[in-house]
A = this chain, B = another copy of it.
């Protein structure tokens, strides 16, 4: 039941925003009593937190699976752009800002996901690419990993890319390819052209 509630809550949050969905809405949708709901979650803040934890755990698994499938670092990076397109609907920057403002515990989970898991994944990818001679060996891994992490945020920043003029998915993919190309060696470009066409 807990899992079912988390799933339904996540669906409603994406659709209507975190603020406007109440615990009443969720229990009504699931045809359960609020008492049942409170058996699993102490309050809305707790539910939002569980939704965020669940969401990022699923994302981590997804990223890790892609890593196993990937033939090389370039391929792994290109797969991310497939994922970006695939999950385009669930990329709601307003939702993130809502969470940042009103749900500090859930926000902390997001921050941790980004700073720990995403950052470590980027570093790992860059080192993999350098080892195989696909990325230049003179790049400063930590500087570029930080750049990548920050530009993922930048894409969602309404002040930099107003949503009425820029499509979020397009920006993310543009930035991802530009980031990747900026590191490629000649050998890397051969792989890039090959795998990019396969997508």
Contacts and interface: CB of A to CB of B under 8 A. Distances in A.
A38 interface: no
A182 to B, nearest CB: 3
A147 B151 contact: yes
Contacts of A178: 139, 144, 147, 179, 182-183
Copy number in the complex reads 2
A180 B136 CA distance: 14
Interface string A159-186: 0110000100011001101111111100
A150 interface: yes
A146 B161 contact: yes
A140 B171 CA distance: 9
Majority SS at the chain A contact face: helix
A68 interface: no
A199 interface: no
- Interface size class on chain A is 20 to 34
A154 B147 contact: yes
Interface of A: 139-140, 143-144, 146-147, 150-151, 154, 160-161, 166, 170-171, 174-175, 177-184
8 contacts: A139-B174, A147-B151, A150-B154, A150-B160, A178-B183, A179-B182, A181-B181, A181-B182
Given A150-B154, A181-B183, 19 more contacts: A140-B170, A140-B171, A140-B174, A143-B161, A143-B166, A143-B174, A143-B175, A144-B178, A146-B154, A146-B161, A147-B151, A147-B175, A150-B160, A177-B182, A178-B182, A178-B183, A180-B182, A181-B182, A181-B184
